Amino acid sequence: MKPNQNFLDKLRNDVLIFDGAMGTMIYQRGVFVNVCYDDLSLTQPQMILGIHKEYVDAGADVIETNTFGANRIKLAAYGLAERVTDMNRAAVRLAREAAGSNVYVAASVGPCFAPEQKPSGQQMADMELAFDEQLAILAAEGIDLVVLETFSDLAQLQVAARLARKHHLTVLASYMLDPQAGEGKDPFELDVARRLQADPNVDIVGLNCGRGPADLLGSVRTVVGATTKPVVVMPNAGGPSEVGGRMLYLNSPEYFTEYCKRYVEIGVRGVGGCCGTTPAHIRMAARAIRTMSGVKQFIDVTTAPVPEVGGKAVAPVVMVPFAEKSPFAAKLASGAQVTSVELLPPQSGAGLKGFIEKCKICEEAGIDAINLPDGPRASARMSVMATAFSMMQTVKIEPIPHYCCRDRNLIAMQSDLLGGYALGLKTFLFITGDPPKLGNYPDATGVFDLDAIGLTQLASNLNHGFDAGGQSIGKPTAMVIGVGANPVSVEMDREILRFYGKIDAGAEYAITQPVFDVEALLRFLERANKHASPIPIIIGIYPLLSFKNAEFMHNHVPGVSVPESILTRMSKRVDKEDAIKEGIEIAREIRQQIGASVAGFQVSAPLGRVNTALSVLAP
DSSP letter assigned to residue 37: G
Dihedral pair phi/psi, residue 209, rounded to 5°: 60, -175
User: DSSP of 533-575, one letter per residue?
Assistant: S---EEEEE----SHHHHHHHHHHSTT----HHHHHHHHT--S
Q: How far apart are CA 260 and CA 211, in angstroms?
A: 13
Identify the pLDDT of residue 441: 67
Determine the topology of domain 7-290 in CATH: TIM Barrel (3.20.20)
Asked if residues 207 and 234 have their Cβ atoms less than 8 Å apart, the reply is: yes
Angle between helices 253-266 and 213-226 (to 10 degrees): 10
Task: In the chain, list all ranges with CATH 3.20.20.330.
Answer: 7-290
Is a pLDDT exceeding 50 seen at residue 170?
yes
Task: In the chain, list all ranges with CATH 3.20.20.220.
Answer: 308-544+597-617
Is a pLDDT exceeding 50 seen at residue 4?
no
Which CATH code fits 308-544+597-617?
A: 3.20.20.220
Identify the pLDDT of residue 184: 47
Asked if residues 282 and 17 have their Cβ atoms less than 8 Å apart, the reply is: yes
Give the burial string for 94-123 (b: 16+ CB within 10 Å, else e). Answer: bbbebbeeebbbbbbbbbbbeeeeebeeee
Strand 270-271 vs strand 480-485: parallel, antiparallel, or unpaired?
Answer: unpaired
Identify the pLDDT of residue 554: 87
What type of residue sits at position 336? A
Is a pLDDT exceeding 50 seen at residue 573?
yes
Residue pLDDT, tens place only, 211-234: 889 888 888 988 988 899 999 999
Most distant CA pair in the chain, distance: 85
Asked if residues 514 and 564 have their Cβ atoms less than 8 Å apart, the reply is: no
Q: How far apart are CA 566 and CA 593, in angstroms?
A: 15
Q: CA angle at residue 420 from 396 to 445, to 5 degrees?
A: 125
Is a pLDDT exceeding 70 seen at residue 242?
no
Asked if residues 143 and 92 have their Cβ atoms less than 8 Å apart, the reply is: yes
DSSP letter assigned to residue 326: -
DSSP letter assigned to residue 18: B
Residue pLDDT, tens place only, 393-404: 999 999 999 998
Three-class secondary structure of residue 28 per DSSP: helix
Can you give the pTM of this predicted structure? 0.60
Is a pLDDT exceeding 80 seen at residue 546?
yes
Identify the pLDDT of residue 304: 45
Confidence of residue 255 (pLDDT cuts 50, 70, 90): confident
Residue pLDDT, tens place only, 174-207: 999 877 665 444 556 888 999 999 999 999 999 9
Dihedral angle sign, alpha carbons of residues 287, 292, 294, 296: positive
Q: How far apart are CA 226 and CA 81, in angstroms?
A: 39
* Average of per-residue pLDDT values in the chain: 89
334 vs 244, residue with greater confidence: 334
Is a pLDDT exceeding 50 seen at residue 537?
yes
Residue pLDDT, tens place only, 313-363: 555 678 899 999 999 999 999 999 999 999 999 998 899 999 999 999 999
Strand 398-404 vs strand 509-514: parallel, antiparallel, or unpaired?
Answer: unpaired
- Cα 309 to chain center, whole Å? 42
Identify the pLDDT of residue 189: 80
Confidence of residue 303 (pLDDT cuts 50, 70, 90): low
Asked if residues 285 and 271 have their Cβ atoms less than 8 Å apart, the reply is: yes
State the average pLDDT over residues 351-379. Answer: 92
Is a pLDDT exceeding 80 seen at residue 138?
yes
DSSP letter assigned to residue 325: T
Dihedral pair phi/psi, residue 471, rounded to 5°: -90, 140
- State which of 239-248, 262-271, 360-369 shows the largest mean pLDDT: 360-369
Strand 312-313 vs strand 308-309: parallel, antiparallel, or unpaired?
Answer: antiparallel
Q: Report the Cα–Cα distance between both ends of the chain, in Å, rounded.
A: 68
Q: How far apart are CA 61 and CA 53, in angstroms?
A: 12
Is a pLDDT exceeding 80 seen at residue 115?
no
Is a pLDDT exceeding 90 seen at residue 151?
yes
Asked if residues 22 and 108 have their Cβ atoms less than 8 Å apart, the reply is: yes
Among residues 618, 440, 615, 438, which one has the least CA distance to residue 544? 615
Is a pLDDT exceeding 50 seen at residue 10?
yes
Residue pLDDT, tens place only, 431-482: 988 766 555 666 676 677 778 888 999 999 999 999 887 788 989 999 999 9
User: DSSP of 458-488, one letter per residue?
Assistant: HHHHHHTTB-TTS-B-SSPP--EEEEEE-TT
Burial group, residue 2, by CB count within 10 angstroms (0-12, 13-18, 19+): middle
Residue pLDDT, tens place only, 601-617: 999 999 999 999 999 99
Among residues 555, 561, 559, which one has the least CA distance to residue 213? 555
